[in-house]
Amino acid sequence: MRRARRNAGDPTLEFGRVPYDDYVHASTLHGLQRTLSDDAGEMSFLVISQVMELYFGLIHFEFTQLQQRLRADDVWGALAPARRAALHLEGLTAGWRTLSWMTPADFNRFRNLLGEGSGFQSAMYRHLEFRLGLKSAPLIRPFRRQPEVHAALTATLEEPSVWDDVLALLARHGHDLPAEVLDRDRTTEHEPHPAVEATWVRVYRDAGPANLLRQLGELLTEIAEKFGDWRYHHLRAVARTMGAKVGTGGSTGLSWLRRSMDRPVFPELFSARTLMD
């Protein structure tokens, strides 16, 4: 207040170092765009890729917060990071819209300069998939020559996923879930189980405002849907810019993405709805 009075309502213009830059590191961020060609469109591709990386990290952060609350039996506290994660996924998906101008000719002007570089090699995206329960041990192999990155991915692979922690929470709240669900190998994907499906049917029978487990289920459903939106828009962007060409990272491109979309997130939250009254 004293500063505002001293400045007569105008912003402060004299600093030793600009506080905003000290906090946001904007000058560092804006120095990270190093294109490989003179094509103007490459800047869009690079910046959106970097923005998506930041969103991957932010959503991964929210998932770790969510899991901490779940492990502490704080269902109410888990709702806030789950809600934030769902909103961040909307922002992540919006990035594809800003690349919708890109035709095959636009992309091909700099695509070869990427070499074998591919979004498939994003370590933070892999963390995100593992947190969502889409586990696959071979997918950390590209990072074996980056010991710190590889170790972090191995830890996330071996830890319970969000879904594992949700199921453990349901069991602690009196729902009967079998050992093959609760004590399974965490490095593999969860296989849909009828006992989990039946548990969500029971949870949803109480539609009252005090049923926090139902609220949690709805937010997890939203996360699964919005993650599916991101995967779908990724597929569309690839189809638009390169059709069925082989991906720069060596995958089959479009068909690989289609197979990835067939791996469900939180599957029993959706299958249980067939059995709900």
58: left (phi over 0), alpha (psi -120 to 50) or beta: alpha
Residues 6 or more apart whose CB falls under 8 angstroms from that of 174 comprise none
Query: Nearest Cα to 228, choosing from 261, 268, 266, 269?
Result: 261
127 is in an annotated binding site: no
2 is in an annotated binding site: no
Sequence letter at residue 22 = D
Question: What tokens appear for 203 in the block?
Answer: 């949870």
d(CA 189, CA 148): 24
Query: Nearest Cα to 171, choosing from 140, 196, 145?
Result: 196
What angle is formed at CA 250 by the lines to CA 248 and CA 256, rounded to 5 degrees?
Answer: 100
Site of tokens 């041990």 = 137
Q: Rg (Cα) of the chain, in Å, rounded?
A: 22
Side-chain half-sphere CA neighbours of 42 within 13 A:
14
Question: What tokens appear for 100 in the block?
Answer: 């919708």
6 is in an annotated binding site: no
- Helices and strands (DSSP H and E) totals, the chain: 14, 0
Binding-site residues from annotation: 111, 234, 248
User: Which residues sit in the known binding site for substrate?
Assistant: 111, 248
Binding residues for heme: 234
